[in-house]
Amino acid sequence: MTTARPDSNALVDDFSDPLFRFFRSHGIAYAEAQDLAHDVFVVFYEKDLTAIENHKAFLWGIARNKLRQAKTRPRNYEEYRTGLGPDVLTSLSELVDRNLRVQALLMQLEDDERTIFLLRCEGLTVDEISRITGSNTSMINRRLAATRSTIDRLGQDAGVDALGADDVADHYRKM
């Protein structure tokens, strides 16, 4: 059975960000995650798409293969020496300091705010969080936005090397 060729723009619009977040949530550095998300589409569009029944599943299959390749590929000396990018901490004391600051920010949140935010950091969708918490999706979206604003404000109030919501989410995923 053959299917129609998918709309290229729609697929890229729908899956670029989720693919990027997928790679980042598995510990891939920022720039490499962008490259891998792009590579998924390169491989995808090299295939005969009319012979593929489920384009979404095929796309995610390519992403899983790219992740496996990225995790197992040998690193060169320069990548190890530079710590694999600018977002990697350079010393144990910096890592401990960042861990403490992230934990302090999270502890200042209300329990339900922290729960919703951390579930989102774990990669759950708003619908999944809604089912788990028994709240509707619009309330979850509002709480997430408010929590991100609170984290940004608290991080700015802390002063030195301020942490924002994206920093906290990235750090939590790497823990």
pLDDT digits (tens, 9 = 90+) for 2-11: 455 667 778 8
What pTM was estimated for this model as a whole?
0.47
Contacts of 104 (CB under 8 A, 6+ apart): 158
Q: Residue 84 falls within a domain, yes or no?
A: no
Q: Residue 3 falls within a domain, yes or no?
A: no
Same domain, 65 and 141: no
- Residue 66 belongs to what domain range? 8-77
Count of structural domains within the chain? 2
pLDDT class for 48, splitting at 50, 70, 90? Answer: confident
* Residue that is last in its domain, among 77, 109, 129: 77
| Share of the chain residues as helix, strand and coil, in percent rounded to the nearest 5 | 75, 0, 25
**What percent of the chain shows pLDDT beyond 90?**
15
pLDDT of residue 78 exceeding 80:
no
Kindly state the average pLDDT of the residues 40-44.
90
Quote the CA–CA distance of 104 and 81 in Å, as a whole number.
31
Q: Residue 43 falls within a domain, yes or no?
A: yes
pLDDT class for 86, splitting at 50, 70, 90? Answer: very low
pLDDT class for 159, splitting at 50, 70, 90? Answer: low
What are the CA-CA distances from residue 28 to residues 73, 113, 126 (Å)?
A: 12, 27, 23
Positive/negative CA dihedral, 69, 72, 78, 83: positive
Contacts of 168 (CB under 8 A, 6+ apart): 102, 105, 106, 151, 155
Q: Residue 147 falls within a domain, yes or no?
A: yes
CA 153 centroid distance within chain: 22
Same domain, 14 and 71: yes
Same domain, 93 and 73: no
Same domain, 73 and 95: no
Q: For the chain, how far is it from start to end, CA to CA, in angstroms?
A: 45
Kindly state the average pLDDT of the residues 131-147.
92
* Residue that is last in its domain, among 77, 97, 130: 77
SS3 47: coil
pLDDT of residue 1 exceeding 70:
no
